[in-house]
Amino acid sequence: MAYKRPDKREYDELRKIQAKVGVIKRADGSAMFAFGNSKAIVAVYGPRKLHPQHLQDPEKCLLRCYYDLASFSVTERKRPGPSRRSTEVSYVTANALKSVIDLERFPSSVIDVYIIIIEADASTRCAGINAASMALAHAGIPMKELVSSVSIGKIGDAIVADLSKAEEDYTIKKDGKEIKSATDIPLAFLSRSEKISLMQLDGKATAKDLKEAMALGKKVCKKITETQKKALKKIKDE
């Protein structure tokens, strides 16, 4: 039997996406991006002089990302402060964004990107990357192109776009036990070159599955890019 999504979306259909720029007035750049009930707020500060001095690189700027979930963003209240997961997501987010920024233009400096998830319903790292890309552009930092991100999932034999929490937790019965059966594949693409800047895998997938996931990810990220551009254009026109 073909997999039916809990919210009745088509396999290539995103949840309702929202994007807005300029949401934090005192930041150099800021943005909000949401997939359905997953919402990320990002503030960017810099480029500014990096302290202490021994951390400075005379050849390029340091890009630092800080990702975290607000304590109230999840059903079971999260303990405040960074976790192992938030540290990992911070690292992969920075790597996903680095290639589009001309870091050599700001030697001995730092750009700080703060990503806070205020509502969590899966795909939060992807929402964070989308908001961060917009916030960096809003800060006036020279970028070669935008970065757009989405989570592609494999549930049964179906490859689907933008997993919800219900789909992330999808289980099947095997030998009388409930077994998690969803594979999560977070992806990020550069908006013009369509190169992949992030690819992770949580679960099992064949080479064929990954090929289908990349094709679907590239397709739906074009829609995300258009939404990002519209939000940036709107703030520019105001």
Cα(89)–Cα(86) distance, integer angstroms: 5
Q: What b/e string do you get for 187-201 counting C-beta neighbours within 10 Å, with b at 16 or more?
A: bbbbbeeeeebbbee
- What's the structural domain count of the chain? 1
Q: What does DSSP assign to residue 59?
A: T
pLDDT in tens, 111-158: 999 999 999 999 999 999 999 999 999 999 999 999 999 999 999 889
Task: Please tell me the predicted confidence (pLDDT) of residue 235.
Answer: 78
Task: Please tell me the predicted confidence (pLDDT) of residue 190.
Answer: 98
Residue 98, classed as helix, strand or coil, is helix
pTM above 0.85, yes or no: yes
Q: Say if 192 falls within a structural domain.
A: yes
Q: Say if 1 falls within a structural domain.
A: no
Domain residues for 139? 17-237
pLDDT in tens, 74-125: 766 666 666 888 999 999 999 999 999 999 999 999 999 999 999 999 999 9
Q: Say if 56 falls within a structural domain.
A: yes
Q: Say if 11 falls within a structural domain.
A: no
Q: Say if 8 falls within a structural domain.
A: no
Q: Say if 54 falls within a structural domain.
A: yes
Q: Say if 139 falls within a structural domain.
A: yes
Residue 145 is part of a domain; what is its CATH number? 3.30.230.70
Q: Which has the closest alpha carbon to 40: 10, 18, 14?
A: 18
Q: Say if 25 falls within a structural domain.
A: yes
Give the residue carrying structure tokens 């592609």: 152
